[in-house]
Amino acid sequence: MAPVRERFLNACRKQPVDCTPIWVMRQAGRFLPEYRELRKGHTMVECCTTPELATEITLMPVRRFDMDAAILFSDLTVPYLAIGVEFEFKEGVGPVITQPISNRTDVERLIPFEAEQALPFVTESVQRLTKQLEVPLIGFCGAPFTMASYMIEGKSSRDYAKTRTMIQADPELWATLMDYLERSICSCLLAQIKAGASAVQLFDSWAGALSVATYRQHALPWLQRIVKCLKQTGVPVIYFAVGASHLYPCLREIGADVLGVDWRIPLSQAHQQLGPEFALQGNLDPTALLAGTDVCLQQAQIVLDEASELPGHIFNLGHGIMPSTDPDVLTSLVDFVHDRSRR
């Protein structure tokens, strides 16, 4: 096997790189024709839980584009298979929980598990990939607030009112649920690292719905403990929250090596607020790729200019790539980022 390229990992650690590394959230997904073809015969759950399929889908964007990292093809709902929370994927809606959590009895029914035994297909997928990849593999899991929100709301929500209500009405129950998720998430990510993942990312898709005070009291402590646990392994830890620039004073305290930045705030401004101790990841607006190659590359140059003086920068989108994206535009973007940032 050829040696793993270190460009992405060096940037995570704010070490010198020959050019800016790039990978894209949801890079193995619905915008790829080969992925859509494979999905014709398989459900989303089958793709996540069958190592041969998860491996193949993870490799698809690495074969097609000159990416500096791969990310394990999975879904933040996969741990629910071990937890005992039933769900299904609905077209145009996403994961839908069959019986959302609403009381202490529901929480007490959740099954304690060790990921290596309960989710062996994840470990096998990572092991298969690390034997084939020439770039680092990123493992991932949902962050505890986002995982809890799906379990309480039953599906994606506009305002996460049920979740925010539980936090206020029964903070002890909320803490019990978060304690459980902390242990579960640590187990999932440690298993991926043990199997060969070179970095991990915590996706907090819905953290932006929280106020600073609520986030600090009811989300941050569990994130801090998870990151402390993971950092003992020595792999870089990335944290990404959407619509969360108002939470930056709290994000500074998580302890992650890399903080993802969405498209709503310039990288230079994020750097000012977060400080020099973190590498930053982001933050091209995903719709720039829908506007055509010329517009996309103009916007990419703005991101590169914003990041030119940063101590560590990983080029990415400000959220997941959209299904209607033309793969050829992404090819041009990847090449452009490498060429324009060459040291």
Task: Judge contact between 184 and 221, C-beta under 8 A.
Answer: no
Task: Judge contact between 273 and 244, C-beta under 8 A.
Answer: no
Tell me, yes or no, if 75 is annotated catalytic.
yes
Name the catalytic one among 7, 35, 68, 75.
Answer: 75
Structure tokens given for 187: 């187990």
Name the catalytic one among 7, 26, 128, 164.
Answer: 26
Tell me, yes or no, if 109 is annotated catalytic.
no
Cα gap 164→213, rounded to integer Å: 12
Phi then psi for 260, rounded to 5 degrees?
-80, 145
Tell me, yes or no, if 150 is annotated catalytic.
yes
Instruction: Establish how many alpha carbons lie within 13 A of residue 24's alpha carbon, considering only the half-sphere containing its beta carbon.
Output: 30
Task: Judge contact between 226 and 238, C-beta under 8 A.
Answer: no
Name the catalytic one among 5, 30, 252, 340.
Answer: 30
Name the catalytic one among 35, 80, 150, 248.
Answer: 150
DSSP 182: H
Task: Judge contact between 240 and 283, C-beta under 8 A.
Answer: no
Task: Judge contact between 138 and 199, C-beta under 8 A.
Answer: yes
Find the angle CA(47)-CA(48)-CA(54) to the nearest 5 degrees. 70
Cα gap 238→143, rounded to integer Å: 11
Structure tokens given for 16: 């010198």
Q: How many CB atoms lie within 10 A of CB 157?
A: 16
Cα gap 29→61, rounded to integer Å: 9
| Active site members | 26, 30, 39, 75, 150
